[in-house]
Amino acid sequence: MQKLVELVALQLTARQWMLATAESCTGGLIAAECTDLSGSSAWFDRGFVSYSNEAKTHMLGVSPELIQLNGAVSEPVALAMALGAVYRSKAVAAVAVTGVAGPTGGSPGKPVGTVWIAWCIGGKTSAELKYFDGNRQTIRRLTVEAALQGLLERLRV
């Protein structure tokens, strides 16, 4: 994962951009991976751990109605989290994750391992739905990796 973070750092540094993270199911693990790299203060602005619905609203400006209508684990909420991270930071790029890491909390429509990842890069947003297998630790690790890989792909465009 360190190599992936180094590649993200190179892309952000080349643009003189800052990154923000908005994390629910990963609880700050993306921010931790980023800040494990020495010198990350040159490109990493801040991380929001918005685990509860109230935190998503309070910290990131996600509408309670949006959460009520779509559920916290949804594309609209993930996109709103990414936008909120940019609007409430000095970042030009953001990644947001919301999902069901398990082992509890799943439902027929959103089983354990369901994760929405969203990115906001220079004002352009996108999101992907992922389904990961494994225990809580594995799902969270795979989410971090997919979030960073997606960020790198979007920065390279």
- For 99, the 3-state DSSP assignment is strand
Give the H/E segment covering residue 144. Answer: helix 136-155
Mean pLDDT, the chain, as a whole number? 97
Distance CA 86, CA 6 (A): 21
Each residue's pLDDT tens digit, 31-75: 999 999 999 999 999 999 999 999 999 999 999 999 999 999 999
* 137 band by pLDDT with thresholds 50, 70 and 90: very high
Distance CA 37, CA 123 (A): 26
DSSP letter assigned to residue 102: S
Output the pLDDT for position 154: 98
Judging by DSSP bridges, how do beta strands 114-121 and 19-23 pair with one another?
Answer: unpaired
DSSP secondary structure string for all residues of 103-124:
SS---SSS-TTEEEEEEEETTE
